[in-house]
Amino acid sequence: MTTFTTKVWAIAALALVSGLVSGLAPGLAFAFGDENWPCQQRKVEHLSWGQMWTGPALPETPDWRQDPALAELVPLLTARGVALDQVEPLIARLQAGDGETRDARLTRLFAGAFREIDVERYKIVGGISGFAEKQRALSVQIDHKREEAARLEAKARDTDNNDDWDAYEALEDEVFWDTRIYQDRQRSITYICESPVLLEKRAFAVARLIQSELGG
């Protein structure tokens, strides 16, 4: 009985913590008017190239994949595991194309890199929203189970029936594990929220690198 009582108190404590956490996490989202956005950073689905690029306007269809040199450079520029100083010499060697100035070709290079980064970032932002939605649903589920557990506990105390106590304990077990899952996921929020920021920084760095070659 002592073990059971200890377990119940542990479960209750975790459930309380879950309630506190579930109350705090969405609060960050509400500040920006989106209940499925858990990050402190404002939700921006798409980047704006005009905020980072002062060169010529980007073409609607850069067609960089049809240009062998650009097709090699764009993946290097967008891969976060590749340092930009490793790509810089390759960009410096980029020449004008057939019927195309070097600046125009560099502009297409940035357009391709920017759009690839923006697409990847857009998918991550959507994934974060989906993550937050699942967390919110799990929080609601925990609250409902906790309410039902309280009802089952009251019934078990009233009847002192073993089956009623078993039903109560089984549901408290579910609350315990659901809470653990919720909290484990919550700990990853800081990390996942940093991904769009890192991609935005990469886009700005790529813009600076390519712009430094314009007019050269």
Q: pLDDT tens, 74-104? A: 999 999 999 999 999 999 999 998 889 999 9
Residues 6+ apart with CB under 8 A from 103: 55, 56, 214, 215
State CA 157 to chain mean position distance. Answer: 45
Task: Of 121, 110, 82, 140, give the one whose Cα is nearest residue 200.
Answer: 121
pLDDT attached to residue 62: 83
User: CA-CA distance, 59 to 124, in Å (whole number)?
Assistant: 25
pTM of the model: 0.76
| Residue 3: count of CB within 10 angstroms of its CB | 7
pLDDT attached to residue 193: 95
3-class state of residue 97 by DSSP: strand
Per the CB < 8 A criterion, the answer to whether 34 and 136 are in contact is no
pLDDT attached to residue 33: 62
**What parts of the chain have a pLDDT lower than 70?**
1-33
Per the CB < 8 A criterion, the answer to whether 109 and 70 are in contact is yes
- So where are the chain's domains? 2-211
pLDDT attached to residue 34: 74
